[in-house]
Amino acid sequence: MSADVWTALLIAILAAFVGYEVISRVPVLLHTPLMSGSNFIHGIVLVGAIVALGLSTTLLEQIIGFVAVVMGAMNVTGGYVVTERILTMFDRSKRPKSGGGTP
């Protein structure tokens, strides 16, 4: 295994702890947007898909790469739009009127 993979492994371990720490602070109230938000973040796979398709040389690779780009783009766009839609509902500055209720 190359040194690069070891470096990446080290980074991954640190990222796992960061993920754990960050998520344990999220209130139950926001667990749905948390799920769709983390869904959006693994949409970074689109970057890998673009590189993979960009480097493709054979037709088979190009076809698979194209499928990967379509799926990755759908993942990242859909995940973002849904998360933003949900969080707008919880944002008081965006909904000044409706939040009220206390007489």
Partner 1 sequence: MIDFSILIDAVYLVAVIFFILGLRAMSSPETARRGIVQAGGAMLAAVVVTFLTPGLAPSNFAWIAAGVFVGGGAGYVWAKKVQMTAMPQMVAVFNGMGGGAAGAIAAIELLSSMSDPASTGLSLAGAVIGSVSIAGSVIAFLKLQGWMRQRPLTFPGQLGVNLAVLALGVAFGVYAAVSQNAFFLGPFFLFTILYGILLALPIGGADMPVVISLFNALTGIAVALDGFALVNGPLGDAGYAMVVAGTLVGAAGSLLTILMARAMNRSLTNVLFSAFGAKEEEGASVQGSLKPIQPDDAAVMMAYAGSVIIAPGYGMAVAQAQGKVKELADLLEQRGVDVRFAIHPVAGRMPGHMNVLLAEAGVNYDKLFDRDEINGQFPQTDVVLVIGANDVVNPAAHRAGSPLQGMPILDVDQAKDVLVIKRGQGKGFAGIENDLFYKENCHMIYGDARDVVTKLVAALKRSSS
**Least CB distance from residue 70 to partner 1, whole Å?**
4
Taken in order 61, 63, 66, 71, the sign of the CA dihedral is negative
Shortest separation between residue 96's beta carbon and partner 1, angstroms: 11
CB of 6 to partner 1, least distance (A): 10
CB 65 within 8 A of CB 53: yes
Helix H or strand E segment including 5: helix 3-24
